[in-house]
Amino acid sequence: MKSILHPKLQILENQFSRSILTPINDPVLSERQLQLSVKRDDLLHPVISGNKWRKLKYNLNHALYSGSNTLISMGGAYSNHLHALAFVGKALGLKTRAFVRGEQPACLNPTLQDLQTWGMQLQFVSRSEYRQLRQFKHYHSLPDLKPGEYWLPEGGATDLALQGVAEIIPEIDAAYDVLMVACGTGATLAGLIAASPNSSQVLGVAALKAGGFLYQDVQQLLPAQQTMAGWDILLDYHFGGFGKTSSVLTAFMQQFQTLHGVPLEPIYTAKTLFAFYDLVQLGYFKTGTHIILLHTGGLQGWRESPWL
């Protein structure tokens, strides 16, 4: 069932831009009669871009309708999720609080500076404490929540996130065969699988090492009747792990940006695009296939190039 959007969220959403499809004209693809289009969710909003709005929208709706005044979540020091949450919390007049993985750095990076500027209260926790927080996967599941506090698990990965992600599918106004997306928690992938027509295939690309657990996490988010048919996760394009990159990946990314004018970051979307081109070389796609690659944003985390 579709939830009615809270008026405060409707006002916010009215400020968003349309996410367009950018066709990629590349002789490597036309030689093989393949078509690639990038769905530009990075253009939705200057701050809450990519999959962030999609995943937060109905979680925030639930928080507002349940009378919450404080949003609490968790993330790394470059977290796109916390960045969007802090901004949106301020825009909605809600307090925000976050558990941040690792020690407090002597000098805050631009992401953490933004969080503070937007009034998010930060609590730095050890990696083991952070891992323990991951077990609280449902809203309201964090122990000792006070009245008015609303808990969002890592990446906002709840069943309500799937509802927002599902809205991507009817926006794609072109016939296509395959939809590709980067995976962190797998919630965006799950939302796309749940909403996709049976005629299309959905391929996730794990941005982290040893991502085999994602199959189970995605399945747990999916409706019980959803089968394994029509989707898969590629586990070998993580470039050494989450946040890791290589000169091969950054050279690929820079070349793609220069040729096609689509800004990328190396943590999620560049790895997904790299996987796409590798699959092309391997002959994975049938002649005539139209692939849509979802640009999930995240460009804010790349402002200081900390991984180079």
Angstrom distance (rounded) from CA 107 to CA 137: 31
CA atoms within 13 A on the CB side of 237: 25
Using rule CB under 6 A, residue 74 touches ligand PLP: no
Using rule CB under 6 A, residue 184 touches ligand PLP: yes
H-assigned helices in the chain: 7-13, 27-31, 51-65, 80-92, 110-117, 127-133, 159-166, 168-171, 187-195, 213-221, 247-260, 269-281
Using rule CB under 6 A, residue 80 touches ligand PLP: yes
What backbone phi and psi angles, to 5 degrees, belong to 165?
-65, -35
DSSP label of 185? S
Using rule CB under 6 A, residue 296 touches ligand PLP: yes
Q: What is the size of the binding site for ligand PLP (CB under 6 A)?
A: 18
Minimum distance, C-beta of residue 177 to ligand PLP, in the bound complex (Å):
22
**Residue 91 CB coordination number (10 Å):** 16
Helix (H) or strand (E) holding 152: none
Give me the 23-62 binding string for ligand PLP, x by CB under 6 A, dash otherwise.
Answer: ---------------------------xx-----------
Angstrom distance (rounded) from CA 58 to CA 113: 27
Among 155, 164, 211, 266, binds ligand PLP (CB under 6 A): 155
Among 38, 72, 180, 183, binds ligand PLP (CB under 6 A): 183
* Token pair listed for 15: 């400020």
In the bound state with ligand PLP, the residue whose beta carbon lies nearer, of 11 and 210, is 210
In the bound state with ligand PLP, the residue whose beta carbon lies nearer, of 10 and 257, is 257
> In the β-sheet with 95-101, what is the strand arrangement from edge to edge?
121-125, 95-101, 70-75, 149-151
At position 283, the amino acid (one-letter code) is: G
Give me the 192-231 binding string for ligand PLP, x by CB under 6 A, dash otherwise.
Answer: ----------------------------------------
Using rule CB under 6 A, residue 268 touches ligand PLP: yes
Angstrom distance (rounded) from CA 118 to CA 203: 35
Minimum distance, C-beta of residue 3 to ligand PLP, in the bound complex (Å):
19
Using rule CB under 6 A, residue 266 touches ligand PLP: no
Using rule CB under 6 A, residue 164 touches ligand PLP: no
Using rule CB under 6 A, residue 97 touches ligand PLP: no
Minimum distance, C-beta of residue 27 to ligand PLP, in the bound complex (Å):
28
Among 43, 82, 182, 208, binds ligand PLP (CB under 6 A): 182
**Cβ–Cβ under 8 Å, residues 252 and 278:** no
| Residue-level length of the chain | 308
Using rule CB under 6 A, residue 75 touches ligand PLP: no
Helix (H) or strand (E) holding 284: none
Binding residues (CB under 6 A) for ligand PLP: these are 50-51, 80-81, 155, 157, 182-189, 268, 296-298
